[in-house]
Amino acid sequence: MAAGYSREFLISAFLSRFVSLPTEKFEALEAMAERFYDEVGRDKFRVYGSLDADAIKVAKASGFCT
């Protein structure tokens, strides 16, 4: 299921949907996403974060993730 995406990439892909949040809320969401990734791992993070192949394509196209 999961390609070889790094932790940082997957967290960035998840966060790319929320760039319009105020800075304080975005930073809190980022910290939450990092903790959650560490708790559940890559594969479950992709499932729970709805990061399927199409979502990854959209995130890459947004330019937010590298």
Q: Which residues contact 51 (CB under 8 A, 6 or more apart)?
A: 10, 13, 14, 45, 59
User: With 50 as the cut, is the pLDDT of residue 37 above it?
Assistant: yes
| Residue 2 pLDDT > 50 | no
User: Is the pLDDT reported for residue 18 higher than 80?
Assistant: yes
For residue 38, give the amino acid letter: D
- How far, in Å, are 6, 20, 42 from residue 38 at the CA level? 12, 25, 8
Q: Which two tokens stand for residue 9?
A: 């990439």
